[in-house]
Amino acid sequence: MRGADPDDRELPLPGPDHAGQPLCVGRGGEGPLRRGRRPGAALPALLRERSAAHRDEQRAAGGAEFGGRTGGGGRGLPRGGAGAAGGRGRTTGRFAQGGHHGRRALLRPAQLGTERRGRHRHRAGGRRGTVRLALVSPGYPPTPGGVEAVVAQTARALVRAGLSVEVLAQQPRPTGPAVSTEDGVLVRRFAANRAENYRTAPGLYRHLARHAASFDVVHGHSYHALTGVGAALTLQLRGLRVPFVLTPHYHGTGHTAARALLHRAYRPAGRAAAGRARAVLCVSRPEAELFARDFPAAAGKVAVVPNAVDRRALLAAAPLPDEPATVLSVGRLERYKRVDRVIEGFGRLADPEAQLVIIGDGPDRSRLERLAAGTGAGARIRFLGRVGDLELRRWLRTAAVLCSLSEHEAYGLAPAEALATGAWAVLSDIPAHAELPAASAVRLVPEGATPTELARRLADCLAGPPAPGSEEIPDWDAVAAQLVGVYREVAA
């Protein structure tokens, strides 16, 4: 224990901003990123650019207030801040130049919305003095899921920043009230079908169509779960002018044969949603590169606003007493998560006292339980299913190692939380994992690694000292400050 569209041409992909320049995409090359440089290095600078200015304007204005044109704020969005003309990295033309000879820019949050000046400005129906934001989500806690957790943390942080936040969420098995206020967030849950592929809640989109004009910004989450794309198409088909922001959590394909087939048929709708969005906010550099590759017409409005951790809550959680050395796996039990590889590697671990704790549920659970029983280490492999937030944080504080060998991720949220608590992270060598901060505590596992090789990496981490806790991973208030800046820009 430890404490075929012409716009879909291939374009070179964006790199991170290492020197305050726009993040470029275009035919002229890689931009500021060069081979061998670590992509994650740009993320702290992105966060600092927005958060300091946001704190200053909050002290001056006493919260998120309506502003005039002075300072770059639009109606319903905070005044002043890093988005004002002359700010660091600011562009005023259609494309950011930044010394890159006219290549299209992957915009930083402070630049988003610069292409929209002079267009008709949406007039929100909210009360004067408060930004009204709608977050459209595939679900909301206690419904489990990574996107659901991200939306909840984002919503709470935005309320703390002074916004009025309403979440429109699908719920496949309605149990509680349809409307509730949770941590200052108004949450509306809409009954959805129970389809495993492409769940939908028609009532959510009817509500959005009726009430969209009362919001200053609509922010849709998830390309794959329909809600982000469905929200964009609802606004488009109804001719509603409210500014729309998309966070796609994009993997590029489905994770089963059926989903992959549906994903290809779904591409035109995704293209239309990307076109309707005034900003596309990806949670990692690799996700942004993938989205820009698949939707190059939208590359000029793609930016990175990373996920974050609730460091205070994580470190306040008490480790579980009397637990042996623990390897932890957290996430939905689907085949693409490759929990089977984690089990096989743990089964080769020589330490007879160590345990593997698997948190999460999903369609692959029965197969994984049978696999665990046949490893010879089945008595030391525990399937806990879904757990509450506090119990999850306590396990993150208890585990010596977090292991995730997923084939696809937009962002490694559970690994980031584990790194923040001082655990080692043994991770699949995919781009979203390779760019995580705290590289000294990350051990990447190649796709072709054998169970014995994985066991060796786990053993090295279990035998070593605790990993240093990472201060590099942003908290949710810093992310909320970035988002407020984006909302100001797109609605200006």
What are the boundaries of each domain within the chain?
Answer: 6-139+193-305+476-491, 311-463
pLDDT in tens, 411-451: 889 999 999 999 999 999 998 899 888 778 999 999 999 99
pLDDT in tens, 70-121: 333 334 444 333 333 333 333 333 223 333 333 344 555 544 544 444 444 5
Q: Kind of pairing, strands 279-282 and 302-304?
A: parallel
**Rounded distance, CA 23 to CA 415, Å?**
26
Calculate the alpha carbon distances from 205 to 30, 139, 235, 479, 487 in Å: 40, 14, 9, 27, 21
Q: Kind of pairing, strands 179-182 and 185-191?
A: antiparallel
**Rounded distance, CA 266 to CA 300, Å?**
22
CATH topology identical between 6-139+193-305+476-491 and 311-463 = yes
DSSP 475: B
Mean pLDDT of the chain: 78
Across residues 200-223, what is the average pLDDT?
95
**Rounded distance, CA 389 to CA 169, Å?**
19
Of the pLDDT bands very low, low, confident and very high (cuts 50, 70, 90), residue 189 is very high
Q: Kind of pairing, strands 185-191 and 217-221?
A: unpaired
Across residues 297-313, what is the average pLDDT?
94
Q: Answer whether residue 477 shows pLDDT above 80.
A: yes
> Which of 214-251 are b and which e, b meaning 16 or more Cβ less than 10 Å from the residue's Cβ?
ebbbbbbbbbbbbbbbbbbbbbeeeebebbbbbbbbbb
CATH class of 6-139+193-305+476-491: alpha beta
DSSP 12: P
Q: Quick one: CATH architecture of 311-463?
A: 3-Layer(aba) Sandwich (3.40)
Structure tokens at 401: 């190692």
Q: Dihedral sign, CA of 306, 312, 318, 319?
A: positive
The DSSP code sequence of 284-325 is SHHHHHHHHHH-GGGGGGEEE----B-HHHHHHSPPPTT--S
Across residues 384-391, what is the average pLDDT?
95
The fraction of the chain above a pLDDT of 70, given in percent, is 71
Chain mean position to CA 411: 6
pLDDT of residue 211: 97
Are 85 and 72 in contact by the 8 Å Cβ rule? The answer is: yes
